[in-house]
Amino acid sequence: MKSLLCCCLLWLCLPLAVHAAELRIDLGHGAKTWSTAELLDRADATTVAIPDDVAFQRPMRYRAVPLLALLPGLSAGQHLQFVAADGFAAEIPAALLLNRQGSQAWLAVEDPAQPWPALAENAKDAGPFYLVWTHPQGAHVSPEQWPYQLAAIRTLPGVDARFPAMVPAVDATAAVRQGFDVFKRTCFACHTMNGEGDSKLGPDLNLPYSPTEYLRADLLRGYVRNPQSLHRWPGARMMGFPTQESLSDADLDAVLDYLRYMAKHKAAH
């Protein structure tokens, strides 16, 4: 009887836990914390249709708030980090959010009365907050720039300033520097480099070894496109980049150039 009562109490508390979810936004002039209820009650909250959702890989509809409405005074020179509860840390320059190519960022808010379905990946929940985009192709928004399970948004100096051990030297080739830019956009949200970075999801991609030191280039390319092509593991968390839209062949080659370069420039740890 006691365990049944405990289960009932736990069940009753679940909607309240979702309602009590909070998102912390810190633009450097005083942090603001938004609750689920506050965001859903905003006058600018609306229903947004996403025809090709990155996380769910199918059309989705959300109650969402225009992200820029939550970032007053944001300027193109600023840099934002989107931190997820699972350790994912997406680095997004403010210029992308302020783009004039038609891409618009929205903060999707999970309504406890209408919870989102579980993700196919490990049956995880994408809520309570998720950064989604309408017309992402306009500004070439990467799949890694759709962070879900959001817990915080904050302004920080750019990646180059915070993590100098991962920055190629000024005499690095144009391909290496292009690869570094792609790495920051697509890989750095999950991985560290030379021991530097804020993400807690994936392994370091240079210490003690770069994947270019133990994988043939064709296998590494295949792994990036489809992680299951190298190891069949249902519990794998890495999402692949299967299409040219998600990661072009030229950008993938540039990332490999960057990884080969960094394999010769390991930090002392």
Distance of CA 59 to the CA centre of its chain: 19
**Residue 116, pLDDT score:** 95
Under 8 Å between Cβ of 152 and 42: no
Q: Are residues 26 and 150 in the same domain?
A: yes
**Residue 229, pLDDT score:** 80
**Residue 245, pLDDT score:** 78
SS (HEC) of 19-52? HCCEEEEECCCCCEEEEHHHHHCCCCCEEEEECC
**Residue 81, pLDDT score:** 96
How many Å apart are CA 237 and CA 256, to the nearest integer? 21
Beta strands 150-155 and 22-26 are parallel
Task: Output the domain CATH number for residue 181.
Answer: 2.60.40.420
Final residue of a structural domain among 109, 124, 156: 156
Q: Are residues 149 and 181 in the same domain?
A: no
**pLDDT tens for the 269 residues of the chain, in order:** 444 444 443 433 444 344 469 999 999 988 999 999 999 999 999 999 999 999 998 999 999 999 999 999 999 999 999 999 988 899 999 999 999 999 999 999 999 999 999 987 555 789 999 999 999 999 999 888 999 999 999 999 999 999 999 999 999 999 999 999 999 988 988 899 999 998 878 899 999 999 999 999 999 999 898 887 877 666 566 777 877 778 899 999 999 999 999 999 998 76
Under 8 Å between Cβ of 80 and 95: no
Q: Are residues 106 and 63 in the same domain?
A: yes
How many Å apart are CA 124 and CA 47, to the nearest integer? 23
In a domain, 147, yes or no: yes
Please give the order of strands across the beta sheet that includes 22-26: 32-35, 22-26, 150-155, 79-84, 89-93
**Residue 8, pLDDT score:** 41
Final residue of a structural domain among 156, 189, 211: 156
**Residue 235, pLDDT score:** 58
Domain that holds residue 166: 160-263
In a domain, 250, yes or no: yes
Cα-based torsion angle of the residue sequence 62, 225, 168, 171 in order, rounded to the nearest 10 degrees: -130
In a domain, 8, yes or no: no
**Residue 11, pLDDT score:** 38
**Residue 122, pLDDT score:** 56
Task: Output the domain CATH number for residue 106.
Answer: 3.90.420.10
Residue 89 parent element (H or E): strand 89-93
Q: What 3-state DSSP class applies to 73? A: coil
Final residue of a structural domain among 156, 189, 224: 156
**Residue 76, pLDDT score:** 93
Under 8 Å between Cβ of 24 and 82: no
Say whether pTM exceeds 0.85.
no
How many Å apart are CA 229 and CA 200, to the nearest integer? 24
Count of domains observed in the chain = 2
Rg (CA), the chain: 20
Where do we find the tokens 């192709």? 137
In a domain, 45, yes or no: yes
Q: What share of the chain is helix, strand, coil (3-state, %, to 5)?
A: 35, 20, 45
DSSP of 161-193: HH-GGGSPPTTS-HHHHHHHHHHHHHTTTT--B
Q: Are residues 151 and 165 in the same domain?
A: no
* Integer CA distances (angstroms), 76 to 92, 93, 104, 155, in order: 11, 8, 15, 12
**Residue 9, pLDDT score:** 38
